[in-house]
Structure 1
Amino acid sequence: MAAVAVAVDTAAADGMDGVEVRGRSPGQEVLLTPAALAFLADLQRRFEPARQQRLADRRRRQAAFDAGALPDFRTDTADIRAADWQVAPLPAALLDRRVEITGPTDPKMVINALNSGASCYMADFEDSTSPTWDNLVAGQRALAQAVAGTLDWMAPDGSKHYVLKPFAQQAVLLVRPRGWHLVEKHVLVDGRPLAAGLFDLGLFAFHNARALAAKDRGPYFYLPKLQTMEEAALWDAVLAQIEAVLGLAHGQLKVTVLIETLPAAFEMDEILHALKDRIVGLNCGRWDYIFSCIKTLRAHPDKVLPERGQVTMTQPFLKAYAELLIRTCHRRRAHAMGGMAAQIPIAGDAAANDAALQRVREDKLREVRVGFDGTWVAHPALIPLARAVFDADMPGPHQQHVARSDVQVARADLLRTPHGSITRAGFDNNVEVCVRYLAAWLDGNGCVPIHWLMEDAATAEIARAQLWQWLHFGDRGAAPLQLDDGTPIDFVLFERALIGLPGKLGGRVRVPGADKLDAAIALLERLTRSATLEEFLTLPAYDLLD
């Protein structure tokens, strides 16, 4: 590996007292140098109190929702929404983002994504990475080597050697750290786990920020799971501190924020404003957003969603969310990025594959025609399709000129409950997706193909939260829900689905994480039976890793 150490104007020993690395993985000494650890420890000590305050604010807000309150636009920030202001000018490398590919950070994925022909690649330490210590170390090393131009990968059988294309032909790199709610248990600062987001973003910036700045490539980041402008302002302070320590210009580090929580949908202007010196866009994180709608409104019996397959972007509440995002971004001269196409090629069934591709085409056509400036895909095979759709309807690098001043979204529009049903197939699919994804995640794989869809933590969260919501619907005195055939949705139905799952999967080609199926079933059963919906599936699952 090429050397990636960065000299910082601080003695390496300063700040090292109280820092403990508990993980062991090949090559970590190149990344976790004394200077790097001192840098991370300083970030933790500066910003951990504010992070804890933001998490406490989340808990208080959720308690209010559980008691009957509903999200709304803030009255104390009305002047921000009403005022005329714009974000800082966008960097040249991010003017055209019509097709972005996302995925984990293993070396093969990094090479294939950067070589894929996409405009951008979001290297994901969050929803598509199982945060084992080996995965995190290998991912940081792979990205550092990619920035240095030295990354390669040989297939285990020696049949193929993967190398990077020339820099000018590579997708633009963006990195997504883990959210504020997560910790990195393998690095302790003063006896407490380091905030996972500070570890992911801070370590990458420490080793790569100045090299990327010299190439006029940022560095660029995606920020996940934000709920409020105060959480955005915390990231802004972190990024400003990193710039100061590394000697970079203010605003050198650029970010895109995923609007993937229901509370954040009511604070888009405010989030842009809190990061206005460095934000370049908002992303319509559809899957996590659906999960957040379920979780936020879990105590409201009139807000139960139908099965996942019926909750499409044409549903009025999701249409309102997407169009409000476009209108807000374009008013502030920021990009509005569309959602993920999770489909993967269907081998051996041309008709089914053609039908899947047609669904992707229709989804991308909808996005470009309502005003999005770019879109996401999960598989390289979808890049030409998505690019062709956007090329045909968006000849320029973006369409910020599409103001969408016709869009008027009220609180009720974002909270409208869609009509639909729950079928036995939909119920059983949620159980299967949860168990199979959890098993793979516990085995170190955070991006899992299931039924020709690339499932990650966000889609597993929808399935898990829906099961809890449906099964606990009667807890507040309401009559239990039913399947569309009249079968009660109760724990008898749930147990039958769980009991039948190992046999259902046993006749197939070995599924990822097969050795972890029993642990996955046990965890899903515990979480589903709990009287309280766990905030994130990955919190209890993380305790079972490493």
Structure 2
Amino acid sequence: MSSNITIRNDLKNTYKDVYTDETLSALSALTHVNKRIKEVMATRMQRRAARQQNKTRIDFLDPASTIHGTTINVQDAREGKFEGSVIPADLQRQWIQGTGPAAKPNTPVENSIRNVAYALLSGADGWMFDGEDALGQVTTMSLDNQRNLKLAIHKDPVFLIVAANVAEEMNRWSRSFLGRDIVSDWEEQLNFTTKIFRARGLHLDDRHIRDADGVAMAASIVDSMLYVVNNYKALQKAGSSIVLYLPKIQTAEEAGVWNELLSGLENHLGLEIGTIKVYVLVEQLEATYQLMEIRAALGKHFVGYNTGRWDYINSVSDAMAWDKDFINPNIEAITMKYGYMRNYEDRVRRAVNTPDINGNFALWQGGMEPDIPVGSAAGVSASMKKAVAGAEREQGEGASGKWVAHWKMVHIVRPVWEKVGEANQLGREFARLTYSQQDADGLILIEPAPTDIRGARNLLSVALQYGNAFGQGMQAAALKPADFFGNDDILYLMEDMATGEIRLSILWEWAHKGAILTENDSEIDIKAGDVFSETLYRKLLVQEYEKLLNAGNKDVYDSSKTTTLPIAREIADTYILSGTKPPWFIDLLNINLNNTNLDVAKNRINLYMNTLAKEGTRITENLDFSK
């Protein structure tokens, strides 16, 4: 039942435990959705190009209109006149959700699957195993990720042996840091955490499968099919919900495509519509204008929203690239309390606590805590206080929980919600959403904040390091600016793909819009009021790149300095200097996966940028598909 799809090389046999007859049957049955996804992604690019050309802002939908691709009236959606979902028992309390990949690059199963053991023994209420921003895509990592999850969910002996060893390692750490064990019965602990999977967004293609027309299969189809089909029976047997996180949705029309895909899968498997539950990551500015419409389009599948930070900032920067007056400050200044960010968060909390036609509310999961408790005593203490304060703020604002990027943070942040003791904040009273010009203006509100050379160095250094890590298969990486290597008072932060996206986006703004620097900098003779220029950027690039070349192996692997790091520099340089702003940093990285030849990389980068400029389209397929 897979004659209408092509799997490259011998992967069908190598990963026959992932590409089972059941999964291939589902993929074959749903392959028609691939064409629909390509259509909405083309429409997305056309909207983006029109905004750039016509210098127009995103706006709210016409309340009298119908959501494209559905029969849902916009005003009905805003008023809650749709059927949503009752929150299942295992999602009622999600005080802390951890997030990270279920696999490591180029490692055997016994080592790679340790990621899953740490997650499920962490004490997190849920763990979002990432198939997207934090999962490396070199070689067959997407399939390793699926394999490890299947082994863990089915409690395969391979996983259980690893889990027993990991539990003891975790306790050794917790005794020294917390003064107590955090895992008392590891076998029982494995049942505590709700398993959640983040599929790749509609804008990404799978690297291993093409449809009957030779078109790369949307990664969203592949990820959701493989995860759900391989695991739904085991999850249901254990009394667990089947839960996905859906990333990078920009419009209610796109949410409708997801609904079509998930409903089609449920029909194929003989499941009741709405069996698969989804959170939506609000990572895109346009989505903030259509929150109720997105809820309505996903209907019985939708359980909640998540308010992230990096990806959302990137989307605002990208949507406003045409506006010379819209310039973000230092990334460190753009907290959830900043201008457009606090307005974004406020709209999300008001959207989830607007009831549907049956009186059902939805969940709001707060943002990411990237800190890791590793460093000097003073550095860790200061960072942990900041992390707890951030969690207290979100809990007070109405979030039912938040994310952490490392298992060690679970028992540091979770007590914020434990002390309050409420399972969630469903139905907390907030004013209904309004759709005025003032609301629209608030979603792109820039406020005065530092814009300085220190900020530029931080942006550039971390962006280069992230591109380098991506090329090595580490899309989740602990990073900090090169000037702080060796300074244990400045902690590493767990970063993922959004890290690179936003840092290059802001640097592009500064270079092309002439950001006014707010601070003096004696090191390179800059005074407050000077303009950030391409010349200044080039000078900083030379300096920051040199620091990475001279860094120790701990911070920048020596083997990468002549392989993936030069390619990361070429991509960053092309992105920042291009008059045509690339829509996604990840595109330029993806077309260079498994490539360490700089000349090949330059040709591919030029091909991408020329195609974008001339045709307005992205290259998203695996250029090495036949290899």
Same fold (TM > 0.5): yes
How do residues 142-181 of structure 1 correspond to structure 2 at under 5 angstroms? 142-150=148-156, 151-152=159-160, 165-166=187-188, 169-181=191-203
Q: How far is 1:167 from its partner? A: 6.2
**3-state DSSP class of the match of 1:222?**
strand
1:214 to 227, 230, 237: 237
Which residue in the other structure is 2:537 paired with? Answer: 494
Is 1:438 the counterpart of 2:467 in the alignment?
yes
Percentage of identical aligned residues: 27
**3-state DSSP class of the match of 2:84?**
coil
Q: d(CA) in 2 for partners of 1:161 and 1:98?
A: 24
Is 1:21 the counterpart of 2:19 in the alignment?
no
Q: d(CA) in 2 for partners of 1:216 and 1:231?
A: 30
Which amino acid in the other structure matches residue 432 of structure 1? S
Task: With the length of structure 1 as denominator, give the TM-score of the two structures.
Answer: 0.91
Which residue in the other structure is 1:192 paired with? Answer: 215
Residues 225-282 of structure 1 show CA distances to partners (whole Å, capped at 9, x for unaligned) of: 0011111111111111111111222211110011110000011101111112111101
Q: How far is 1:18 from its partner? A: 4.8
1:364/1:386 contact within 8 Å kept: yes
Q: d(CA) in 2 for partners of 1:192 and 1:389?
A: 48
2:398/2:425 contact within 8 Å kept: yes
Which residue in the other structure is 1:59 paired with? Answer: 45
Is 1:388 the counterpart of 2:415 in the alignment?
yes
Q: d(CA) in 1 for partners of 2:575 and 2:77?
A: 40
**3-state DSSP class of the match of 1:522?**
helix
1:518 to 566, 572, 591: 566
**3-state DSSP class of the match of 1:216?**
coil
**3-state DSSP class of the match of 1:275?**
helix
Q: How far is 1:79 from its partner? A: 3.2
Q: d(CA) in 2 for partners of 1:408 and 1:159?
A: 49
Which residue in the other structure is 2:298 paired with? Answer: 275
Residues 456-496 of structure 1 show CA distances to partners (whole Å, capped at 9, x for unaligned) of: 1112111011111111115xxxxx64463234322222222
1:391–1:111 Cα change, 3 Å = same
Q: d(CA) in 2 for partners of 1:129 and 1:201?
A: 15
Runs (4+) of structure 1 exceeding 4 A deviation are: 23-27, 83-86, 152-155, 157-164, 406-409
2:6/2:209 contact within 8 Å kept: yes
1:95/1:397 contact within 8 Å kept: yes
Which residue in the other structure is 1:3 paired with? Answer: none
1:154/1:161 contact within 8 Å kept: no
Which residue in the other structure is 1:69 paired with? Answer: 56
1:224/1:257 contact within 8 Å kept: yes
Bigger drift between 260-269 and 160-169 goes to: 160-169
1:16/1:34 contact within 8 Å kept: no
1:380–1:178 Cα change, 3 Å = same
Residues 438-467 of structure 1 show CA distances to partners (whole Å, capped at 9, x for unaligned) of: 101101111111121111111211101111
Is 1:93 the counterpart of 2:68 in the alignment?
no
Residues 144-188 of structure 1 show CA distances to partners (whole Å, capped at 9, x for unaligned) of: 011101224759x99988996336643101000110010012212
Which residue in the other structure is 1:402 paired with? Answer: 428
Q: d(CA) in 2 for partners of 1:524 and 1:302?
A: 23
Q: d(CA) in 2 for partners of 1:330 and 1:216?
A: 27
1:31 to 18, 37, 49: 18
Q: How far is 1:403 from its partner? A: 1.7
Which residue in the other structure is 1:10 paired with? Answer: none
Q: d(CA) in 2 for partners of 1:20 and 1:104?
A: 23
Which residue in the other structure is 2:110 paired with? Answer: none
Which amino acid in the other structure matches residue 140 of structure 1? Q
Q: d(CA) in 2 for partners of 1:18 and 1:120?
A: 34
1:291/1:461 contact within 8 Å kept: yes
Q: How far is 1:525 from its partner? A: 0.9
Which amino acid in the other structure matches residue 508 of structure 1? G
How do residues 329-344 of structure 1 correspond to structure 2 at under 5 angstroms? 329-332=352-355, 333-344=361-372
Q: How far is 1:392 from its partner? A: 2.3
Which residue in the other structure is 1:204 paired with? Answer: 227
Task: With the length of structure 2 as denominator, give the TM-score of the two structures.
Answer: 0.79
Q: How far is 1:298 from its partner? A: 0.8
Q: d(CA) in 2 for partners of 1:521 and 1:222?
A: 32
Which residue in the other structure is 1:411 paired with? Answer: 440
Q: How far is 1:388 from its partner? A: 1.1
1:441/1:513 contact within 8 Å kept: no
**3-state DSSP class of the match of 2:296?**
helix
CA RMSD across the alignment: 2.4
Bigger drift between 495-504 and 203-212 goes to: 495-504
1:518–1:152 Cα change, 3 Å = farther
Q: How far is 1:26 from its partner? A: 9.0
**3-state DSSP class of the match of 1:29?**
coil
Which residue in the other structure is 1:456 paired with? Answer: 496
Which residue in the other structure is 2:27 paired with? Answer: 40
Q: d(CA) in 2 for partners of 1:225 and 1:158?
A: 33
1:117/1:170 contact within 8 Å kept: yes
Is 1:533 the counterpart of 2:581 in the alignment?
yes
1:417–1:99 Cα change, 3 Å = same
2:97/2:128 contact within 8 Å kept: yes
Which consecutive residues of structure 2, in runs of 5 or more, have no partner in the other structure? 66-73, 104-112, 171-184, 356-360, 481-491, 521-526, 595-627
Which amino acid in the other structure matches residue 506 of structure 2? Q
Bigger drift between 494-503 and 247-256 goes to: 494-503
Which amino acid in the other structure matches residue 294 of structure 1? S
Is 1:467 the counterpart of 2:495 in the alignment?
no
**3-state DSSP class of the match of 1:93?**
helix
How do residues 130-145 of structure 1 correspond to structure 2 at under 5 angstroms? 130-145=136-151
1:113–1:243 Cα change, 3 Å = same
**Residue correspondences, number:** 524
**3-state DSSP class of the match of 1:331?**
coil
Q: d(CA) in 1 for partners of 2:397 and 2:516?
A: 36
Q: d(CA) in 2 for partners of 1:83 and 1:166?
A: 40
Q: How far is 1:498 from its partner? A: 2.2
Which amino acid in the other structure matches residue 579 of structure 2? A
1:262–1:42 Cα change, 3 Å = same
Which amino acid in the other structure matches residue 537 of structure 1? F
Which residue in the other structure is 2:390 paired with? Answer: 363
1:316 to 293, 316, 339: 339
Which amino acid in the other structure matches residue 50 of structure 1? R
Which amino acid in the other structure matches residue 259 of structure 2? D
Q: How far is 1:34 from its partner? A: 4.6
Q: How far is 1:539 from its partner? A: 1.0
